[in-house]
Amino acid sequence: MDAIYNRLVRLNDEQTEASLLKQILDPLSKYYGGILDETGIARANHMSTPRMIAGWVSALVNPDSRYYHDRFLLNALDKAAAFMLNRQHPDGTVSLGSTNYNSPPDTAFVVGGVTQMYQLLHKHDWPEAAPVVVKLKLFLERTLPAMLTGGCHTPNHRWVLTAALALLHDIFPRPELMERAEDWLAEGLDITEDGEWTERSNGIYNAVSDIALYHTGRLMNRPELIDCVRRNLRMMMYLIHPSGEVVTDYSGRQDFGQIATMANYFPIYRLMAAYDKDPLFASMADYSASFLTGFHEGVNNHPMLHMLVYPEADITRLERTPLLDRYVKVLNEQHPIKEHLNGIDDVGHHMQIQHSAMHLTFGAPVVRIRDLDQSVTIMSQTPSFFSLRHGKARLLGIKLATSFSPGIVKFSNLTAGEGVYKLESILEKGYNGPIPRQLLPAGVEGSTLSPWYLLPHHHRPMTHLQKLELQAEIRHGDSEWTIHVSSDEREDVFTQLTFIFGSEGTLSGHNLVAGEEGKYFLQSGAVKYEADGDVIEISSGAYEHILPIVREDHHPSGCQYVHVNLVTPYDRTFKIRLR
């Protein structure tokens, strides 16, 4: 029997045992039947009680589980299903809790999992489970009005909603569910040719969009949706460090710079490996499963539930292909990002969108380089433009900040050559003239009270526009990297180049001066960073000004920072040696 399956059964049983102890059994509590989560209360969102009971359902129907047809667990599940109904709002929604109250998209996440639980229990020949099946179906039926009318916040929410609508239609075959799904799909797919979704969230939301659009494409017979999933999964094979850590250096969401693994990709890689009979996807499914230490994904992406609901996606006999560990891959090189950004003014939204973000970095070029245990990312349109993993040694990023804008420089252009990568940006800063009199609001001219925020500032003409041109050129050599940074001839712009290291290693250098906790200044010479015998050495430092930080550049805690202080004009080369 499949080793992955056996391990998931064991993990699910362990999590079932642990979560049973967290069920609230006080009949006077409004959370009665729910399962305590990290907030200290029980919630009905996709990361809380529903996620736990997905494991319970999986255990109850699985003959390989020690909880198979366990009546105590079934009784606990019945209480939890009642809790779900009690915490469901009158409009059919649930609340995320940390934010997003009476939330259609967060309800759609839950629907994605509860539909699978319902299908699994409904098909299972076990009359004693009938009361739970009734409760789960009632919960789903109550969500229909919200799914048919509800909106979203983020790009991926649209696809979570379409998946919920398609999955609900499989149970409640009402044509209006498909019509609503078509309304969302009419907006078009937000993915580049190379497979990048709008939010650029390799650690979280790629997998969310992938699993949602797989279900939508399957149930609505839309193969073009599944092709988008396929493209993203192929892209992700280039976005993994040797340790299994996912590249999150340029994410547009909360996984930015956070440690993430491929664990939440296991269900979709398994489904797509079976769908395409793809040996490489099968290897990626195995690899993703190796990072599952518990079921921390949302209920809509529960690994054990997924294996039982979709037994036809059995890939145990599918051939495997070795994973990629040597490559140079340029992503989004041909994506028309400038063309798209130039069209913003014509749309008419004036860069205003409520409760979301514009995600203007969508489709920005990224270079990924792997050479066994060396892993490099070169990025445009992000706070950090270079990151490197050398075995256990982690150079998490290099960023440039100036007093001109002020703040972090996000290089706008990236061009890739043979072993040479060039980044450039032209910063602009001017001054706002008086608003033409004919464009002033009525009654403002000569008024003794004219609030600043009521003036039409978009009509102010620009004066004394100033520019600062910056470049970075990155070259790959034998056991070293060369970073060459330069500016134009403008004088006296305070600049700080910062090397960001993981907290697990040690820093040393003859002219490395400690500042505030975790921050150092490399005034000259070299700095050495060592982690478990792997060494990254960077030279050489500079201390042309004494500012501890350039305005509006902030450094999150949990890392070590080495600053090199420069003043324009500068033309400097840094060597990164690996040993």
Segment 445-458, tens digit of pLDDT:
878 888 999 999 99
- Helix crossing, 266-276 with 223-236: angle to 10°? 120
Tell me if 62 is assigned to some domain: no
Q: Is 394 helix (H, G, I), strand (E, B) or coil?
A: strand
**Which CB contacts under 8 angstroms, 24+ apart, belong to 5-10?**
5/64, 5/307, 6/64, 7/289, 7/292, 8/289, 8/292, 8/303, 8/304, 8/307, 9/62, 9/64, 9/65, 9/304
Is the model more confident about 509 or about 252?
509
Q: Which residue range(s) make up the domain with 403?
A: 373-434+462-578
Segment 282-338, tens digit of pLDDT:
999 999 999 999 888 899 999 999 999 999 999 999 999 999 999 999 998 888 877
Answer whether the bond into residue 540 is a cis peptide, omega within 30°: yes
Tell me if 102 is assigned to some domain: no
Q: How many Cβ atoms sit within 10 Å of the Cβ of residue 478?
A: 5
Tell me if 550 is assigned to some domain: yes
Segment 86-96, tens digit of pLDDT:
999 999 999 98
- The pLDDT value recorded for residue 253 is 86
* Nearest C-alpha neighbor of 279 from the set 215, 217, 326, 324: 324
The HSE-up count of residue 513 (CA atoms within 13 Å, CB side) is 14
Tell me if 517 is assigned to some domain: yes
Q: How many Cβ atoms sit within 10 Å of the Cβ of residue 547?
A: 13
Q: How many Cβ atoms sit within 10 Å of the Cβ of residue 334?
A: 11
Q: Give 169's pLDDT tier (boundaries 50, 70, 90).
A: very high
**Domains: count for the chain:** 1
Q: How many Cβ atoms sit within 10 Å of the Cβ of residue 397?
A: 23
Burial class (CB in 10 A: 0-12, 13-18, 19+), 351: exposed
Tell me if 164 is assigned to some domain: no
Q: Give 350's pLDDT tier (boundaries 50, 70, 90).
A: low
Strands (E), 403-461: 407-408, 413-416, 420-432
Segment 372-382, tens digit of pLDDT:
999 999 999 99
pLDDT at 1 over 60: no
pLDDT at 358 over 80: no
pLDDT at 559 over 90: yes
Tell me if 406 is assigned to some domain: yes
Across the chain, mean pLDDT equals 94
Compute the distance between CA of residue 259 and CA of residue 257 in angstroms, rounded to an integer: 7
CB 349 within 8 A of CB 308: no
Q: Give 351's pLDDT tier (boundaries 50, 70, 90).
A: low
Which residues on neighbouring strands pair with residue 369, listed in sequence order? 328, 376
Compute the distance between CA of residue 222 and CA of residue 226 in angstroms, rounded to an integer: 7
Compute the distance between CA of residue 351 and CA of residue 341 in angstroms, rounded to an integer: 11
pLDDT at 563 over 60: yes
Amino acid (1-letter code) at residue 369 = I
pLDDT at 356 over 80: no
Tell me if 445 is assigned to some domain: no
Max intra-chain CA distance, the chain: 84
Tell me if 427 is assigned to some domain: yes
| Helix-strand-coil split of the chain, %, nearest 5 | 35, 25, 40
Annotate 213-230 with three-state secondary structure: HHHHHHHHCCHHHHHHHH
* Nearest C-alpha neighbor of 410 from the set 239, 548, 252: 252
